[in-house]
Amino acid sequence: MAESELLSVRGLSMRFGGLLAVDQVSMEVRLGEVVSLIGPNGAGKTTVFNCISGFYRPTSGEVLFKGRPMQRLPGFKIARAGMVRTFQNVRLFKEMTVIENLLVAQHMQAERNLLKGLLLTKGYRRREQEVMERAAHWLERVGLIDFANREAGNLAYGQQRRLEIARCMVTQPRLLMLDEPAAGLNPNETRDLNQMIVRLKQEEGITVLLIEHDMSLVMDISDRIYVVNQGKPLADGTPEQIQRNPEVIKAYLGEE
């Protein structure tokens, strides 16, 4: 296995009762890449995501993250290992404020010792301060600092999407998994999102795995693309290769 391989999925299958939703999907994500997973609606992309991030236990196959098998771990352990995801229909803590969303996300970095918290020790205060500062830093970066004390549920849709990404970033992940981050965004917001992902990649060295329907976004920012159709792997390659692949075109446009 190459040094630079961050995530490696081998022969992943997921069966729900009689339905084989994902069938022998394999993919590699190398350090620092932006890799996209595309395919028509119902192709099983989100199921692949759910298997990788530990929400489903795959029927068969392997998920290796930094060379370690992940497929039997529960979701929260996978997140702690450094793989953090967003959701197709944004899952914020809607009744909590924007900044609180980012504080919750840093639960593992915060001082969780109850005694220290009850007694308000110096160490506890310092750690809380750090957590708060990191949250503020990320709010600044995604342009939501002015909304810090608003309830997250009251943000505009595009802002909620950005907050969800910031919430992932405060956990200091290695791999950021985005499930249709551009869904429901207008062209301007999509452009901002595009720039944001590029900046995250350049400045933070984050690796991104992306599910997306917006083809111009996908073609623009992806280093490599995997295509699945009806749960099966169809093609993979650079954006140019994918755009020219007749199989892919057929899958998207349907049989003549």
Binding site for other proteins (CB under 8 A): 16-17, 46, 50, 53-56, 74-77, 79-80, 84-85, 87, 91-97, 99-100, 103-105, 107-108, 110-112, 114, 117-118, 120, 132, 135-136, 139, 145, 148-149, 167-168, 171
How far out from the chain centre does Cα 8 lie?
15
Minimum separation from the CB atom of position 196 to other proteins (A):
19
> For residues 37 and 25, what is the distance between their CA atoms, to the nearest angstrom?
11
Minimum separation from the CB atom of position 144 to other proteins (A):
11
Half-sphere exposure of 133 (CA within 13 A, CB side): 6
Minimum separation from the CB atom of position 252 to other proteins (A):
25
Nearer to other proteins, 81 or 215 (CB): 81
Nearer to other proteins, 73 or 219 (CB): 73
- Asked if 7 contacts 25 with a C-beta cutoff of 8 angstroms, the reply is no
Nearer to other proteins, 138 or 226 (CB): 138
Nearer to other proteins, 11 or 74 (CB): 74
Minimum separation from the CB atom of position 70 to other proteins (A):
13
Minimum separation from the CB atom of position 237 to other proteins (A):
29
Minimum separation from the CB atom of position 200 to other proteins (A):
17
Question: 3-21 b/e with 16+ CB inside 10 Å = b?
Answer: eebbbbbeebbbeeeeebb
Nearer to other proteins, 171 or 229 (CB): 171
Strands, sheet with 224-229, edge to edge from the N-terminal-most edge strand: 83-85, 175-179, 207-211, 34-38, 224-229, 232-237
Q: Exposed, middle or buried: residue 192 (CB in 10 Å: 0-12, 13-18, 19+)?
A: middle
Nearer to other proteins, 21 or 251 (CB): 21
